[in-house]
């Protein structure tokens, strides 16, 4: 959530920047409810104070009829004020949660994703002496991808991965864990990008695949209609996460952590689930947009003063990983309409897919400032004893299906085989070709 004091102080700015992100929010009504809420809270506290004083006055003696009558009246008044406050609180909370995070000043203003800005292009697309194929046209004939049988037993947007393609995925997982756990690699990227943060490596995590409604809602990532599957029956109160950061960012829900723990850097691996509602007709071929997919996700908890540099580190890591695979890519700075509700800044990396003859999204990096932490109540206790909200970042290391599709298309050979990137070969017992 956004800080209500910031909204009180900057109502015009909040309304304008919310609109830039595509959110029409009634700031005037929110502030009216905020004022009404504070007034009712004050009245309720005064009534409770009178009741407490009355209780103290009656302690150890028989109450007078007047005191009994006053006690009954106070009880009724308090119950009435609590009912009124509950109604105001519900509407206030609804409107406050509807306000998105404010974009940073360098975020381009745009009304659609078409206004995202390419900030960098790295690598030249390979020139083929044959017509390059799409990844599924390569994998299906070689019996490494089987969507037809998966559809038979699970429906559309599922698939069986088989043989050396599975070995490649396991190699990617090992490669990422090894790389992000290497302090020398992190130190190199910190230095090259002139970042003022420590070179602490990432800790591997296998997080839960499900979470309860309350923390999921607090994370600002629960999107029940478009994205998220409910796990089991409604009374189970569990959702299948749509990305590993959903159960990583909520890890320290309602906790205060000592300053010397920061930065906390995790690399999580998880099978994730998305409904993909509204995307039917898009990417029905291949393995780019499945309901079930495996993903390596980076999550960082930091102090406020280092949050932006942590965001830049995650982007540098993403570029490093893609470069090590030898894939051409470009970097997109996402515009206000595309960065998402909780994000203050968002960056995408899109890799070149020669079979489709275009760049496709393979990575995203999201900087939430303290927006996510405010509702999660994830805080830092400074060495001097003060307490404040942490800043959170998340970023894709690899969504394995997507990056393997990019590897297959960029490394395809005329005979239908696929070269294995050199950095993955040690994790595949030296296999250099699919």
pLDDT (tens, 9 = 90+) of the chain, 434 residues, equals 999 999 999 999 999 999 999 999 999 999 999 999 998 888 888 888 888 888 888 888 888 888 888 888 888 888 888 888 888 889 999 999 999 999 999 999 999 999 999 999 999 999 999 999 999 999 999 999 999 999 999 988 889 999 999 999 999 999 999 999 999 999 999 999 999 999 999 999 999 999 999 999 999 988 776 788 888 778 889 999 998 899 999 999 999 999 999 999 999 999 999 887 655 666 778 898 898 999 999 999 999 999 999 999 999 999 999 999 999 999 999 999 999 999 999 999 999 999 999 999 999 999 999 999 999 999 999 999 999 999 999 999 999 999 999 999 999 999 999 999 999 999 999 999 99
- For helices 307-324 and 164-180, what crossing angle results, to 10°? 140
Specify the CATH number of the domain 113-428: 3.30.930.10
Q: Which tokens in the block code for residue 404?
A: 């393997």
Which positions ≥6 away from 174 have C-beta within 8 Å?
Answer: 427
**How much is the pTM?**
0.91
Domain-wise residue ranges, the chain: 4-98, 113-428
pLDDT of residue 225: 65
Residue pair 266/365 in contact (Cβ under 8 Å)? The answer is no
pLDDT of residue 62: 86
Which residue, among 251, 254, 231, has the nearest Cα to 241 in the 3D structure? 231
3-state secondary structure of 352: strand
Specify the CATH number of the domain 4-98: 1.10.287.40
Q: How far apart are CA 47 and CA 77, in angstroms?
A: 8
pLDDT of residue 133: 95
pLDDT of residue 78: 86
Residue pair 376/220 in contact (Cβ under 8 Å)? The answer is no
Which residues on neighbouring strands pair with residue 238, listed in sequence order? 231
Residue pair 247/270 in contact (Cβ under 8 Å)? The answer is yes
Each as own residue / partner, the long-range contacts of residues 412-421 (CB below 8 Å, 24 or more positions apart, any chain) are 412/132, 412/133, 412/138, 412/354, 412/355, 414/129, 414/130, 416/138, 416/141, 416/142, 418/138, 420/168, 421/324, 421/325, 421/326
Beta pairing, strands 264-273 & 203-205: parallel
pLDDT of residue 170: 97
């Amino acid at each position: 959530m956004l800080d209500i004091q910031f909204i009180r102080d900057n109502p015009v700015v909040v309304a304008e920047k919310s609109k830039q992100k595509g959110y029409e929010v009634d700031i005037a009504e929110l502030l009216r409810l905020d004022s009404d809420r504070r007034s009712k809270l004050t009245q309720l506290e005064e009534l409770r104070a009178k009741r407490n004083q009355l209780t103290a006055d009656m302690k150890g003696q028989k109450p007078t009829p007047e005191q009994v009558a006053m006690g009954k009246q106070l009880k009724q008044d308090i119950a009435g004020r609590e009912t009124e406050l509950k109604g105001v609180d519900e509407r206030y909370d609804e409107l406050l949660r509807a306000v998105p995070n404010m974009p940073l000043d360098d975020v381009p203003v745009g009304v659609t994703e078409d206004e995202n800005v390419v900030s960098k292009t790295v690598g030249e697309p390979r020139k083929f002496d044959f017509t390059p194929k799409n990844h599924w046209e390569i994998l299906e004939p070689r019996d490494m991808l089987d969507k037809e049988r998966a559809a038979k037993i699970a429906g559309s947007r599922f698939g069986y991965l088989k043989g050396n393609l599975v070995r490649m995925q396991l190699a990617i997982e090992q490669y990422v864990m090894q790389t992000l756990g290497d302090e020398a690699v992190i130190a190199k990227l910190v230095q090259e990008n002139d970042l003022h943060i420590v070179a602490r490596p990432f800790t591997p995590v296998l997080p839960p695949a499900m979470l309860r409604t309350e923390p999921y809602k607090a994370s600002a990532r629960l999107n029940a209609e478009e994205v998220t599957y409910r796990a089991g029956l409604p009374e189970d109160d569990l959702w299948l996460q749509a990305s590993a950061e959903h159960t990583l960012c909520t890890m320290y829900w309602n906790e205060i952590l000592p300053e010397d723990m920061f930065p906390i850097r995790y690399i999580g691996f998880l099978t994730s689930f998305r409904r993909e509602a509204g995307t039917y007709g898009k990417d029905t071929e291949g393995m780019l947009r499945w309901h079930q997919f495996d993903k390596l996700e980076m999550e960082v908890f930091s102090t406020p003063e280092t949050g932006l540099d942590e965001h830049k580190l995650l982007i540098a890591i993403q570029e490093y990983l893609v470069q090590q695979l030898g894939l051409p890519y470009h970097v997109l700075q996402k515009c206000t309409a595309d960065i998402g509700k909780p994000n203050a800044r968002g960056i995408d990396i899109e890799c070149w897919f020669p079979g489709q003859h275009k760049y496709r999204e393979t990575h995203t990096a999201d900087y939430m400032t303290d927006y996510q932490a405010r509702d999660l109540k994830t805080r830092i206790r400074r060495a001097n004893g003060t307490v404040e909200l942490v800043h959170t970042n998340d970023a894709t290391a690899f969504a394995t299906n997507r990056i393997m599709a990019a590897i297959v298309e960029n490394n395809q050979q005329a005979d239908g085989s696929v070269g294995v990137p050199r950095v993955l070969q040690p994790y595949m017992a030296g296999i250099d070709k699919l």
